[in-house]
Homo-oligomer: A and B are copies of this chain.
Amino acid sequence: MPKPVILQRQTVARSRLFRAEELQLEFSNGERRTYEKLCSGGPGAVLMVPMLDDSTVLMAREYAGGLEDYHLSLPKGAIDAGESPEQAANRELKEEVGYGAKSIQLLKQVHLSPSYMEHKINILLMRDLYPEVLPGDEPEPIEVVPCKLDDLFQLVMRDDVIEGRTIAALYLAQHWMTQHSS
Contact = CB atoms under 8 A, between A and B. Distances in A.
Contacts of A112: 112-113, 117, 164-165
Interface stretch (A49-57, A61-69, A87-95, A124-132): A61-69
Nearest to A165: B164
A110 B164 CA distance: 5
Nearest to A178: B153
Copies in the complex: 2
Interface bin, chain A = 35 or more
Given A1-B70, A63-B27, A66-B116, A167 B13 contact: no
Nearest to A16: B36
B36 A38 contact: no
B162 A175 contact: no
Given A17-B20, A167-B171, A65 B116 contact: yes
